[in-house]
Amino acid sequence: MIGSFESIIIDCPNPRALARFYSELLGAEIVGCDHDRAELVPPGSPRPLLAFQRVDDYNPPRWPSQDLPQQMHIDVKTDDFDVAEAAVLALGATKTGSDSPTFRNYLDPAGHPFCLIKPEG
């Protein structure tokens, strides 16, 4: 092993605002928040696993186009698509209209794609 996983860092124009969005989405605690960076500690984790960093002149991915590709996305497991969808839209997500029986796609307030997914089985 070369090293161990530390965290995922997501570029955005406003770290505090995007941290609030994902805090509500995932039930995570915001820690280490300032003008340029914010970190989230998910439930049950001893440390931050997701962070957001300010990028001047930020350009969001153009999903599903490959003009400015997504490069990554987050899957969030939920038992009830309709309840979860209403909640993420109320938080500021945008529906992409690209759905299937097992997932629904959205954009977070900074334009990053994420999916609500059904549990396997």
Domains located in the chain, CATH noted? 1-55 (3.30.720.120), 71-121 (3.10.180.10)
Please report, as a single letter, which amino acid is at residue 110: A
pTM, two decimals, is: 0.78
Nearest alpha carbon to residue 109 among 41, 24, 45? 24
- Band of the pLDDT at 27, cuts 50, 70, 90? very high
DSSP string, 58-74: -----SSSSSS-----E
Mean pLDDT of 68-95: 88
What digits encode the pLDDT tens for the residues 84-104?
Answer: 999 999 999 999 987 888 889
Q: For residue 34, give Cα distances in angstroms to 19, 20, 51, 55.
A: 11, 13, 12, 14
Mean pLDDT of 38-55: 91
